[in-house]
A and B are shown apart, each in its own frame.
Chain A
Amino acid sequence: MTHTRRLHLKTTLLILLSIILGPLGNVFLGKAMKGVGPVFSGRIPELGQIVSRVLASGYIWLGIACLLGFFVVHMLLLTWADYSYVQPATSLSYLSLSILSYFLLREMISPLRWLGVIVICLGVFLVGRTSPSTTGAPDRA
């Protein structure tokens, strides 16, 4: 296996992991914050009360744990791959996020929103066809 192929395989595997962890984290955060209620309905003195309600939610910690896992994977990726490659490539997570929001949060996603998410993924596909690193290695795209 050539170095370039190995690099692509390693990049793909870690991107896949981040596609699952990132959205799952956001879904848990959404669930926690919906439980707390709109934070702008209160005044400044009520901020402490809101913060304690947020911290007491189990879902917030579950969400943070998933996002921390995502963050470590993301950091590992950025040690060899370009930021402008990693960021769009991991955005395939928008599709998995929509699916998770639909099933876990029961959010009604309109056809227009699905279309938007699919267009975002199409953009991601176009970006994904470029080389992961343009500063360290010759661009093969």
Chain B
Amino acid sequence: MREVALLFFIVVAGTAGELCVSRAMKSIGEVHDFRPRSILRFVIRSLRLPWMWLGVTLMSLGFFSLLAILSFQEVSFVVPVSALSYAAGAFGAKVFLGERINRNRWIGIAVVCIGVTIVWWSRK
């Protein structure tokens, strides 16, 4: 039961956090310059965005849940099962970011979910 609760936090809080970060990144725009100084400026600029902070908070919640579950479960079980966030991510990206998700992506995401189910069956 505690496994399911922690996995829920990893998937839902983690995905919601990433969606917030993605929203912040899109408002900055495409990065063309990869010199260290420019990357540092890019990081500082992103830290001024509220969406970034909301995203980081949610992702932290997901991260602490990950640490808790890793204290008693195998890495090779926990991380693949957390791939359930693909389905959550696709729904969130469609609703929250207005991304168009074509049929091929949906098929891919469905296959990922089948893989997650198989990994779940291998639970010890």
Question: B75 contacts which of A38, A91, A101, A117 (Cβ < 8 Å)?
Answer: A101
Q: Within residues 91 to 141 of chain A, which ones have a CB less than 8 A from any CB in chain B?
A: 91, 94, 97-98, 101-102, 105, 107, 109-110, 112-113, 115-130, 134-135, 139, 141
Question: B89 contacts which of A26, A84, A105, A134 (Cβ < 8 Å)?
Answer: A84
**A21 — which chain B residues lie within 8 A by C-beta?**
none
SS class, residues of chain B in contact with chain A: helix
Size of the chain B interface, CB-CB below 8 angstroms: 60
Q: Judging by beta carbons under 8 Å apart, are A87 and B30 in contact? A: no
**B70 — which chain A residues lie within 8 A by C-beta?**
26, 29-30, 33-34
User: Could you mark each residue 28-52 of chain A with 1 if its beta carbon is under 8 Å from any beta carbon of chain B, else 0?
Assistant: 0110011011111000000000000
SS class, residues of chain A in contact with chain B: helix
**B94 — which chain A residues lie within 8 A by C-beta?**
84
Query: Given contacts A123-B112, A126-B107, is CB(A26)–CB(B18) below 8 Å?
Result: no
User: Could you mark each residue 24-42 of chain B with 1 if its beta carbon is under 8 Å from any beta carbon of chain A, else 0?
Assistant: 0110111100100001001
**B97 — which chain A residues lie within 8 A by C-beta?**
82-83, 135
The size bracket of the interface on A is: 35 or more
**A2 — which chain B residues lie within 8 A by C-beta?**
none
User: Roughly how many angstroms separate A135 CA and B70 CA in the complex, as a whole number?
Assistant: 37
Supply 7 A–B pairs (Cβ within 8 Å), ascending by A.
Answer: A75-B42, A82-B97, A83-B99, A84-B94, A88-B86, A121-B115, A123-B113
